Amino acid sequence: FFKNEKIDQVYLAAARVGGINANNIYPAEFIYENLMIETNVIHSAFKNGVKKLLFLGSSCIYPKNAKQPMKEEELLTGKLEPTNEPYAVAKITGIKMCESYNRQFGNSHGIDYRSVMPTNIYGLGDNYHPENSHVIPGLIHRFHIAKIKNFPYVTVWGSGSSKREFLFVDDLADACLFALEKWNPMDANSPKDKFGNTLYWLNVGCNTEIS
């Protein structure tokens, strides 16, 4: 496919995704399918001369007890949240693949592979499954059913103390274009690890949390 289509840029958004319940029920599918997607696409892109690639990770790649607000350099500094660890491990692999290909082949092959870490995304065409959806479409589904069936109340998971950051999908699309076309990882203000090494991934959010 890559060879036939003569692709020059890749935005890798494909993934097996779901909410907390889906992550708990299907851990094998979540780690296997996501590893297969990213390893096949990233390596095929490299083999066929794709110079620019953007991989979409997830905010769940960061440790469960990461410092707040979470910064890019927090990656691999602690234990992951157990409920979505298989998915997070797969996403970390994709990020590290991009970083490793840059390190080994950036100069010799002129490639530039980057990643973005979206916060919780919502938007048109979302997954409204009653058990396997993410927070916002899951709530929309429950309130919609409650309205049309005239239920007296709606049950919401959790204590209400946890906070999430939500981003509309079109804003994420704009951020992806910026990250691949306009962001300079070598800039002094771009993320660095504690040794001053360049990090080729950016967090993408709206900087506002909602309980």
Structure tokens at 161: 């103390």
d(CA 210, CA 144): 21
Strands 52-56 and 9-12 come out as parallel
Q: Which residues are catalytic?
A: 87
d(CA 119, CA 86): 18
Residue 186: CB partners within 8 Å, gap ≥ 6? 198
d(CA 185, CA 170): 23
Count Cα neighbours of 44 within 13 Å in the Cβ-side half-sphere: 15
Q: Are 96 and 103 spatial neighbours (Cβ–Cβ below 8 Å)? A: no
